[in-house]
């Protein structure tokens, strides 16, 4: 076995509580980096966001050149926190039509923060949701633990007022319950965030 020994519901519960604290800190830091009210992102995420949490398990694959572990996508969350496998690489990020490998973390148990599509909308396109995929390999299984922070579904997600001006006009329409259409779009290889562009 390569990665984790989460043995109980309590461990996962404790982990996700800490992840939520980290996410809140990050959202406040994102606001201050853009010179807007500290609660600009947290207000849109709401007091009771959903932290969708999933273990991804990628078994060894005899034809890794033909089979992806997870196809190209960006996350429908506001923010995603990934705990990568400690030994086996597999995540790749796309930039300008080129794929870049994400190495096994140099520091054990470090977390990878991924901007999701809803933070792209809130930041009026300043923070870009990252396009990524997971590849397979023929030798070793791989596990990742992913937490998607998803805003309360009844809150309207929209570009923060202070990030709209003549130089940077509003780029996105408002949306509620983002995840409702996320997976339908995903199956068709589309990103809901692109459908929200004005």
Ligand X SMILES: O=C(O)CCC(=O)C(=O)O
Binding site for Fe ion (CB under 5 A): 75
Instruction: With CA atoms as reference, report the closest residue to 55 among 113, 17, 93, 12.
Output: 12
Residue 122 interacting partner from Fe ion, ligand X, none (CB closer than 5 to 8 Å by kind):
none
CA distance 81 to 54: 11
- For the CB of residue 132, give the shortest distance to ligand X in the complex, in Å: 5
Pair of tokens at residue 161: 């007022």
Paired sense of beta strands 112-115 and 142-150, if any:
unpaired
Contact characters 35-74, ligand X, x per CB under 6 A: ---------------------x-------------x----
Q: Which C-beta is closer to ligand X: that of 82 or that of 121? A: 82
Residue 74 beta carbon to Fe ion: minimum distance, rounded to whole angstroms: 7
Q: 96-135: which residues touch ligand X (CB under 6 A)? A: 132, 134
What angle is formed at CA 198 by the lines to CA 156 and CA 180, rounded to 5 degrees? 40
CA atoms lying within 13 Å on the CB side of residue 186: 16
Alpha-helical segments (H) within 38-116:
40-45
**Residue 90 interacts with ligand X (CB under 6 A)?**
yes
Report d(CA 153, CA 195) in Å as an integer: 18
191 binds ligand X (CB under 6 A): no
Taking CB under 6 A as the criterion, the residue among 79, 122, 146, 171 binding ligand X is 146
Nearest distance from C-beta of residue 132 to Fe ion, angstroms: 6
How long a stretch of residues is the chain?
A: 198
Shorter beta-carbon distance to ligand X: residue 145 or 171: 145
Residues found near ligand X in the complex (CB under 6 A)? 56, 70, 75, 82, 84, 90-91, 132, 134, 144, 146
């Amino acid at each position: 076995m390569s990665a984790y020994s989460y043995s109980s519901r309590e461990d996962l519960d404790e982990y996700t509580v800490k992840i939520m604290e980290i996410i809140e800190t990050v959202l406040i830091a994102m606001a201050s980096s853009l010179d807007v009210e500290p609660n600009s992102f947290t207000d849109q995420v709401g007091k009771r966001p959903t932290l969708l949490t999933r273990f991804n398990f990628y078994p060894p694959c005899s034809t890794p050149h033909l089979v992806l572990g997870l196809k190209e996508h960006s996350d429908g969350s506001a923010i995603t926190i990934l705990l990568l496998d400690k030994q086996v690489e597999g995540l790749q990020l796309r930039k300008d039509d080129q794929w870049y490998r994400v190495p096994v973390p140099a520091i054990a148990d470090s977390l990878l923060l991924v901007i999701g599509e809803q933070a792209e909308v809130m930041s009026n396109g300043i923070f870009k949701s990252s396009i990524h995929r997971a590849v397979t390999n023929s030798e070793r299984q791989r596990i990742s633990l992913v937490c998607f922070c998803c805003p309360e579904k009844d809150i309207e997600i929209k570009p923060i007022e202070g990030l709209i001006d003549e130089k940077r006009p509003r780029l996105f329409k408002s949306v509620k319950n983002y995840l409702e259409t996320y997976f339908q779009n995903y199956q068709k290889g589309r990103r809901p965030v692109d459908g929200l562009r004005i």
